[in-house]
Amino acid sequence: MSPDPNGRIRVAIVDDEDLARQVLREYLSSHPEIEIVAECANGFEAVKAVAELKPDLVFLDIQMPKLDGFEVLELIGNDTAVVFITAHDNFAIRAFEVHATDYLLKPVSAARFEAALQRAKERLEGKSPAAAVAPAELAAAARPASQHVDRIPVRDGARVSIIPVAKLDYVEAQDDYVALVSEGKKHLKQQTIASLEAALDPSRFMRVHRSYIVNLERVAKIEPYSKDSHVAVLTTGAQLPVSRAGYARLREFLDR
């Protein structure tokens, strides 16, 4: 995240309301070093713009069509500084006080906006460290514990797809990524398997192995593999390793 050699900062503004974007545009217009590279009115456009134009800084509304601000943050990676803008959202305030570069409340005052911009600049110049955690982890931390996701947004380049959890067969951990397998396709996402496990409904998904989470509805049978391990055969034909602890959990679930 190195600043542009000429000191220019490339900014994207994301808000579904034209008037809300207008305020930010106006505030930014007094800063000659700022270049507005994109204005987006929904989550899909935002992800696409960030992937293609790689802005340094994004002003991001939370409630929007298609993808909300949290989902956008999950998908754009952490090379971009994000300032959230929201009308009234205690929950976002709490979660992002720690992690996001800044958050602004509507109506946004000029002074508060300048402070946020200053903070973003410091972050871009490397004076303050970027969040060390992946954005998907932040979004997971921001979700109330009792609430489970019913869909998972994934990004492939500038293309966003949304996987409803009912169509998710299983999840496999691959280094820093998870591979989500749904309808015969594999989607990669930068997230740890543990945080994905926490986001999924435990009555529908189970961690059967250090590297695997399975959709319980897809489990056709469990077969012994070696002395202490088993394989789960899914209705799709896929075979997943099941650890000893995973087997105990599965048995407990199947016996119930």
Partner 1 sequence: MTILLTYLLSFTHETTVEEALILAVPLCIFYAFVCQSAQYSCRALPPERVGLDKLGLIHAGAAAMAGALWVFSAMVLAWILSSSINALRGLSDRLHAGPELPIIFVTGFLVYLLSTLGYYVQIALEASRDAEARLMRMSILAREAELKALKAQVNPHFLFNSLNSISALTSSDPAKAREMCILLGDFLRRTLGLGEKSTIPLDEEMSLIHAFLAVEKTRYGARLQMEETIAKDALAVDVPPLLLQPLVENAISHGIANLVDGGWIRLNVGCDNGNVSIVLENLFDPEAPARRRNGVGLANVRQRLQARYGNRASFLAKAEGDRFRVSIVVPSGEATSKEATAS
Closest CA to 214 of 195, 238, 192, 190: 238
Instruction: Indicate the residue among 19 and 132 with the shorter CB distance to partner 1.
Output: 19
Of residues 12, 41, 138, 180, which one binds partner 1 by CB under 8 A? 41
When asked if residue 197 is in the footprint of partner 1 (CB under 8 A), the reply is no
Q: How far is the CB of 23 from partner 1 (least distance, A)?
A: 4
Radius of gyration for the chain, computed over Cα atoms and rounded to the nearest angstrom: 21
Segment interacting with partner 1, rule: CB under 8 A, options 10-18, 176-184, 211-219, 235-243: 10-18
Nearer to partner 1, 120 or 149 (CB): 149
> Which residues in 65-94 contact partner 1 (CB under 8 A)?
65-68, 71, 87-88, 91
Segment lying near partner 1 (by CB under 8 A), choices 19-27, 115-123, 165-173, 197-205: 19-27
Q: Which of these segments, 63-71, 172-180, 193-201, 231-239, binds partner 1 (CB under 8 A)?
A: 63-71
Q: Choose between 10 and 148: whose C-beta lies nearer to partner 1.
A: 148
By the rule CB under 8 A, 108 interacts with partner 1:
yes
* Under rule CB under 8 A, residue 30 binds partner 1: no
b/e per residue, 211-225, with b = 16+ CB within 10 A?
bbbbbbebbeebeee
Q: Which range touches partner 1 (CB under 8 A), out of 105-113, 182-190, 198-206, 211-219? A: 105-113
Q: Which of 1, 52, 63, 166 binds partner 1 (CB under 8 A)?
A: 63
**Spatial distance between the Cα atoms of 62 and 214, rounded to a whole number of angstroms:** 31
Judged by CB under 8 A, the residue of 2, 19, 183, 237 near partner 1 is 19
Instruction: Tell whether residue 16 is a contact of partner 1 (CB under 8 A).
Output: yes
User: Which of 2, 5, 32, 107 is in the footprint of partner 1 by CB under 8 A?
Assistant: 107
Task: Decide whether 76 or 222 has the Cβ nearer to partner 1.
Answer: 76
CA 133 to chain centre: 11
Residue range at the interface with partner 1 (CB under 8 A); choices 5-13, 31-39, 62-70, 186-194: 62-70
Cα distances (Å, whole numbers) of residue 157 to 10, 50, 54, 228 = 20, 10, 12, 41
Q: Which residues bind partner 1 (CB under 8 A)?
A: 16-20, 22-23, 26, 41-43, 63-68, 71, 87-88, 91, 105-108, 150-151, 162
